[in-house]
A and B are shown apart, each in its own frame.
Chain A
Amino acid sequence: MASEPQGGLTEYIQHHLTHLTPHASKSGFWAVHVDSITVSLALGALFCLLFWLKARKATAGVPSKGQAFVEIVLEFVDGQVKDVFHGDRRFLGPLALTVFVWVFLMNAMDLLPVDLLPWITEKFGVGHFRAVPTADTSMTFAMSITVFVLIIFYSFKAKGFSGYMSEMFTAPFGKHPLLWLPNFALNLVELLSKPVSLAMRLFGNMYAGELVFMLIAGLFSAGAGLAGWALYGAGIIGYTVWGLFHILIIGIQAFIFMVLTIVYISMAHDHH
């Protein structure tokens, strides 16, 4: 990729950290990250198609392997929801399932060789392409703000406007009028920290993971001659080991995102 190793690596990483956007300025409202949107929509469609096909052909008898797999995933997610939330799971269950599988699939894009998709898209004249939507703050915030809206919605639904407002102003310190403002300030911070932490945790993990992949990939073009080949071998080992470790991370991050979504929404149902 580059003739001079050091400058090349910086350029390489910068190149890879640039989103595909049709807008020239790379910022502002219309700087849409087409790559994140494309990949996330494709993976979301894949998830829906896969589960829909299996659900459509679901049998009460001995399930096929595909159905059994879907059932295992479904039971796992439903078990998590059941543990935390003791109410009507008809909405929260599917939400948790969607969050878990979708985030997992998007995270799993990190396991693809970091240069593979950009190499393919380059043939179609598209220079920048980031394959991991969850390493994009737009994507993680899109999901966490959706969860945030649901938190607000279910808070109002469970407690009513006056109930929720009185909770915002009287918990956790007390009902004294002097405490209204501190209560509200604390609750506001707590409320706003939820989507921020949800989004930043996922983004941070995936972004860092992607960055480490790129740094290791830098070894592939780090030297020449015998030393170059040694670094190339080290690069393969490092890339593989980080990839193996990353299998854990993508699952854990998808799981954490799902569990926190469940916890936040079930907290919105709870009365203090």
Chain B
Amino acid sequence: MLPNGTLIGEMISFAILIWFCVHFIWPHINKAIEDRQIKIAEGLNAAERAHAELKDADHKVAAEIKVARQQASEIIDKAQQQANQIIDKARGEAVTEINRLKASAQDDIASMAQRARDQLREQVGALAVQGASKIVQREVDASTHKALLDQLAAEI
């Protein structure tokens, strides 16, 4: 059975309807679909970028920590050197100071011994004069025998 006029008329209308859908309805649906695809693609890209950036930042942080650690160890080394230098210098100064003090003390001792010796010598002289005058029973004129007494004192 061939299609009758009614069916053909309906088919023409249907064709117009399809044409309308293709031109005015489908583009909107297609656009929504493509927008969604673009949005998802962009979102995924952004996520990937962020991920890469994070990795980059991690690397940078690691490198910077390494540098900082190196610098810190350098600073510590330098500080230790400086401390050693300071200690050495202080030690040197202390040694010279000790030596100086020792020398001056020795000087003092020597001069004091000399003074004691001199005093002793004088007292011995006086004692000798007293003893002699006792023996002689008269005043010994110290001035007349000064040369003699001095000589005696020097001999003691």
For the complex formed, measure the closest distance between the CB of A128 and the CB atoms of chain B, giving whole angstroms.
15
Give the complex CA separation of A235 and B37 in angstroms: 42
| Chain B facing A: main interface SS | helix
- Which of B10-18, B53-61, B91-99, B119-127 forms contacts with chain A? B10-18
Give the residue name and chain of the A residue nearest to B3 (CB). Answer: A119
Interface size class of B (residues with CB under 8 A): 20 to 34
- Is the beta-carbon distance between A116 and B7 smaller than 8 angstroms? yes
- Is the beta-carbon distance between B11 and A113 smaller than 8 angstroms? yes
Q: Mark B29-45, 1 if CB is under 8 A from A, else 0.
A: 11011101100110010
A244 lies within 8 A of chain B by Cβ: yes
| Contacts A69-B29, A220-B5; A239 near B37 (Cβ below 8 A) | no
- Which of A41-49, A57-65, A150-158, A188-196 forms contacts with chain B? A57-65
For the complex formed, measure the closest distance between the CB of A69 and the CB atoms of chain B, giving whole angstroms.
5
- Is the beta-carbon distance between A72 and B10 smaller than 8 angstroms? no
A71 lies within 8 A of chain B by Cβ: yes
Interface size on A, residues (CB 8 A): 31
- Is the beta-carbon distance between B33 and A239 smaller than 8 angstroms? no
Give the complex CA separation of A68 and B6 in angstroms: 39
| Contacts A115-B10, A221-B5; A243 near B17 (Cβ below 8 A) | yes
- Is the beta-carbon distance between B17 and A111 smaller than 8 angstroms? yes
Q: Which 10 A-B pairs have the closest CB atoms?
A: A113-B10, A239-B13, A220-B9, A115-B7, A220-B6, A68-B33, A240-B13, A62-B41, A243-B17, A240-B16
